[in-house]
Structure 1
Amino acid sequence: MKRAVGAAAVGNITEWFDFGVYAYLATTIEENFFPPDNQTLAQIGVFAGFAVSFLVRPLGGLFFGPLGDRIGRTKVLSITVIMMAIGTFLLGFIPPYSAIGIWAPILLVLCRVIQGFSTGGEYAGAMTFIAEYSPDKRRGFFGSFLECGTFIGYALGATVATVIPLISSPEFASTWAWRIPFFIALPLGIVGVYLRVKLEETPAFQTLLDESESREGTEVKQAIKMMFVNYWPAMLTAGGIVVAWNITNYMLTSYMPTFLEKNVTDTGGKAIDTTTSEVLQIVILWVAVLVIPLLGNVSDKVGRKPLMMTGAIGLVVLAFPMIYVLTLGSVPLVAVGLAVMAILLILFSATSPSTLPALFPTEIRYGGLSISFNIFVSAFAGTTSLIMTALVPTTGWAYWPAVYLIFGGLVGLAVLVKLKDPAGKPLPGSNPAVSTPEEARELVRTGADARG
């Protein structure tokens, strides 16, 4: 179980290391890869480069998801993690706009396409992987470590992107120092592949394989048709949770550094120091790493639904106060605003990885989750930074982030009201899973009692 959690989480670390580096180096990427005479266009171009990876994620989900249901979880997850690492690694070699002109942003977009396509099969597959390995009564706890990987990866990327320019000479910082974080992704990807190829298939998928030695899995077209015809309610439920969860996620991790830099001034009328805002967010992310497993453990005892409902209601009620506190410009108040947003986020982060896989049966779990997850992430969440970057400067109204957070909270509430809490129950189509001999004996005993 520990090796399974580590193998799944390392892919998430690789994915979010890239996002952390990209978000925290957004200004540097803008200066290097886009024409210098139009700052607004360049800023939108940076976040368009971020958003394009989400436009291809559904294609990656359509390709890798059904493939994972046919040939196995471990094989597909080994492919996706190394693809993500290579895309990030290559981005660090792109020459600046001053050297190759329009080819700089074109190559940037191509690297982001590689990252997005592979990510389309990575995260949903990792959720499936951990959920199918976990015992029923500990699935919330073990699943939460996947999101620990998310926050560790982002915090590492943000930390490296912040520290390297500070310890480098001005000349090196402006030429090669900012590229170093992108190079680090490749060793992370190699470690991920090594860990994953060493693992056996999940027990749930192995049961399917044991049904027939010649099993080839459901044909891709048939599987996709089955998902949209028979499991569209599950896909909509997954989508609603994904929207609430990931709008908050990308608002905090991707847009807030830019929001604080461009729209918030301190009590003296000066812009918030970039290093100060970055350090505040990095500290909050590292604290979240410690808290998420605790909430995952709580969800195994009280259920997933109460925690997620609290997060969704919090988004609706606290969105405007959060942004108002941030705009006041006081460093302690900025820390409070970011901390409240992070708390609402981790209420979803600690519970969603164990909730979403329980919406689909084993034979289409990877595919159904990949397709629904990536469609809704791409349409509503991955574009958060791009939408906010377009709306806030052009309208001059700093509260658009609050409006979007409320939208996410309302969508989440709409699907959570009817959600049947999966805590402590076997995954659909899977046998009960236990973690101790005592649990096994209790399961046999209660089964015998039920039969009379």
Structure 2
Amino acid sequence: MQWSGAVSGAAEEPRPEPVAIEDEQTIRRATTAATLGNVAEWYDFGIYSYLAAIALDRVFFPQAGEWATVFTLATFAAAFVVRPLGGLVLGPLGDRIGRTKVLSATVLLMAVATALLGLVPSYDSIGLAAPLIVLFIRLLQGFSAGGEYTGALTLVAEYAPDRRRGFFGSWLEFGTLVGYTLGAGVCALLVGLLPQDDLLSWGWRLPFMLALPIGVTGIYLRMRLEETPAFRQLMDRSPAMSTMSLYRVFQILVTHCRSAALIAGGLVVAWNVTNYVLTNYVPTYLTGTLPDHGRSGTSEALSTSLQVVVMLAMLCVIIFVGRLSDRIGRKPILLTGSAALIVLGLPAVWLLQAGLAGQVLGLLIMGFALLCFAAVTPSTLPALFPTFVRYGSLAIIFNVFVSAFAGTAPTVIGLAVTTTGNLDWPGYYLIGAGVVGLVSTLFLKEPAGRPLEGAAPLTSSADLPAPKLSEDGVPLENPQVRRQG
């Protein structure tokens, strides 16, 4: 689907120009800003899931008995209820006023909300008001997350050279993993150093308070960035695009991007179900669910440490997988991840029930499947949509599908296990995610090495051959290349 302004009744998406060049240092600075901002965002968002298995159920739901875990996970899932709203507001806004302004705002909102979460009094202090305040703050976090990740996807994809978009896109998930790992590591450190009483009374607050300085760093880096090459091209050619209504975005999605929206939604489901099962449900499964059903679980400290080990293993290879996708394509890697979920999803859960060695292997299997999606999906999704609706389309689709199918997975699995006593539910979810990912990938048109829709082909100054010189030694200008900036 090549966009050339054929959308009836809308301002035309301009035709792509000759090859554009972006300075290599600018590309790396943009990628660093997006990555570090993502570290802050997902450290903030992720620490709740780790603390849910360690302390939060006892701090905010001490009288709920066996349902305390379900209520705590439900509060986690509440953030996903408003993520689509955040996407609806922040995504189209990013298509109007620019990517960097919106991304600076999302990091600020997340950092402030997370710091406030560390100040909420316990249930023993203010009763029912405590979990209600937590719920409200989680809604603020969800609103921020609704515009954060898809904006970061858009920013990195629009700055990355066409032939290295997989490499630069994988750095974004590197930041996500660092954020989750940092959150898990801080929680593991607290569990190892603090007595249980201190952890429940004040220690659990420390990870939330650390969010503020991390967030300030992300804000500073993002506010120093100029807009992406694709967005600058769009504004130079057709400034009227900045006034496109939300209704028009939906109309274009339904009439012109329907297949792209379904493919994107399927990849989002496969990727994020795997992610939230591994990072949010499995810690609770190992520390609470298995022992409650007479199986061999783990201590809270060991569970968190195992998560950190898996995340570190993924960190070591994710950039190489992203680079590999620039050579062999995104589809082979996505198909590998989907097949791994289908074939190994249930055995991985059985391994979690088989003692420490099995738990390590089961977590590594889930981590491998997640790696296949995390390394290449950030460079795959933005390529499905044209520049003038890219941020808004991704924000709407990503958050609707995550909220409906992925973010709720830990709560639904926890409820299913509690009511049926069947410990295999996580595996059923992983198999379903693999099927959705497989079908979506089969319909995907390989995006590796191609320009983004509606943007000029983009290369980096570092990728250019040495210029030809005239007889007097003056570099000859290539008329097919336009330098950005």
TM norm structure 1:
0.94
SS at match of 1:45: helix
Alignment partner of 1:339 is 2:391: no
Counterparts of 1:215-234 in structure 2 under 5 Å? 216-234=242-260
1:140 positional shift: 0.1
* Aligned with 2:444 (options 397, 415, 419): 419
SS at match of 2:135: helix
Match of 1:142 in 2: 168
CA distance in structure 1 between the partners assigned to 2:321 and 2:290 by the alignment? 32
Q: Note if contact 1:434-1:440 (Cα within 8 Å) is conserved in structure 2.
A: no
Alignment partner of 1:37 is 2:63: yes
CA distance in structure 1 between the partners assigned to 2:344 and 2:192 by the alignment? 35
Segments of structure 2 that go 5 or more residues without pairing to the other structure are 1-26, 468-476
Segments of structure 1 that go 5 or more residues without pairing to the other structure are none
Report the residue type matching 1:363 in the other structure: F
Q: Note if contact 1:67-1:220 (Cα within 8 Å) is conserved in structure 2.
A: no
CA distance in structure 1 between the partners assigned to 2:133 and 2:291 by the alignment? 35
Alignment partner of 1:22 is 2:52: no
> Cα gap change, 1:40/1:332 in structure 2, threshold over 3 Å: closer, same or farther?
same
Match of 1:371 in 2: 396
1:324 positional shift: 1.1
Match of 1:395 in 2: 420
CA distance in structure 1 between the partners assigned to 2:258 and 2:33 by the alignment? 30
> Cα gap change, 1:38/1:437 in structure 2, threshold over 3 Å: closer, same or farther?
closer
* Aligned with 1:112 (options 115, 125, 138): 138
Report the residue type matching 1:416 in the other structure: T
Match of 2:328 in 1: 302
Report the residue type matching 1:29 in the other structure: L
CA distance in structure 1 between the partners assigned to 2:194 and 2:359 by the alignment? 28
> Cα gap change, 1:243/1:193 in structure 2, threshold over 3 Å: closer, same or farther?
same
CA distance in structure 1 between the partners assigned to 2:203 and 2:133 by the alignment? 20
Q: Note if contact 2:241-2:388 (Cα within 8 Å) is conserved in structure 1.
A: no
1:10 positional shift: 2.0
CA distance in structure 2 between the partners assigned to 1:265 and 1:102 by the alignment? 29
Match of 1:72 in 2: 98
1:435 positional shift: 2.0
Report the residue type matching 1:420 in the other structure: K
* Aligned with 2:406 (options 375, 381, 386): 381
> Cα gap change, 1:212/1:441 in structure 2, threshold over 3 Å: closer, same or farther?
farther
CA distance in structure 1 between the partners assigned to 2:203 and 2:36 by the alignment? 24
SS at match of 1:21: helix
> Cα gap change, 1:246/1:437 in structure 2, threshold over 3 Å: closer, same or farther?
closer
SS at match of 1:318: helix
Match of 1:324 in 2: 350
CA distance in structure 1 between the partners assigned to 2:453 and 2:466 by the alignment? 22
Report the residue type matching 2:59 in the other structure: N
Which string of whole-angstrom CA distances, capped at 9 and with x for unpartnered residues, describes residues 159-212 of structure 1? 101112322355432211110000111111111110011000000000111125
Alignment partner of 1:194 is 2:239: no
CA distance in structure 2 between the partners assigned to 1:398 and 1:445 by the alignment? 63
SS at match of 2:460: coil
Cα-Cα RMSD: 2.1
Q: Note if contact 1:52-1:113 (Cα within 8 Å) is conserved in structure 2.
A: yes
Match of 2:208 in 1: 182
Report the residue type matching 1:247 in the other structure: V
Match of 1:428 in 2: 453
Counterparts of 1:214-363 in structure 2 under 5 Å? 216-264=242-290, 271-329=297-355, 331-363=356-388
Answer with 14-23 or 334-343: which moved more: 14-23
Report the residue type matching 2:103 in the other structure: L
1:415 positional shift: 1.4
> Cα gap change, 1:211/1:446 in structure 2, threshold over 3 Å: closer, same or farther?
closer
Answer with 348-357 or 18-27: which moved more: 18-27
TM norm structure 2:
0.88
Identity of aligned residues (%): 48
Q: Note if contact 2:191-2:301 (Cα within 8 Å) is conserved in structure 1.
A: no
Which string of whole-angstrom CA distances, capped at 9 and with x for unpartnered residues, describes residues 294-320 of structure 1? 100000000000000010111111111
Alignment partner of 1:52 is 2:75: no
1:38 positional shift: 2.3
Match of 1:404 in 2: 429
Q: Note if contact 1:263-1:327 (Cα within 8 Å) is conserved in structure 2.
A: no
> Cα gap change, 1:415/1:169 in structure 2, threshold over 3 Å: closer, same or farther?
closer
Report the residue type matching 2:44 in the other structure: D
CA distance in structure 2 between the partners assigned to 1:37 and 1:101 by the alignment? 11
Q: Note if contact 1:265-1:328 (Cα within 8 Å) is conserved in structure 2.
A: no
Q: Note if contact 1:59-1:120 (Cα within 8 Å) is conserved in structure 2.
A: yes
SS at match of 1:426: coil
Report the residue type matching 1:425 in the other structure: R
Match of 1:2 in 2: 28
SS at match of 2:448: coil
CA distance in structure 2 between the partners assigned to 1:437 and 1:143 by the alignment? 18
Q: Note if contact 1:89-1:186 (Cα within 8 Å) is conserved in structure 2.
A: yes
CA distance in structure 1 between the partners assigned to 2:196 and 2:427 by the alignment? 37
Which string of whole-angstrom CA distances, capped at 9 and with x for unpartnered residues, describes residues 88-122 of structure 1? 11111110111111111100000000000011000
SS at match of 1:2: helix
SS at match of 1:328: coil
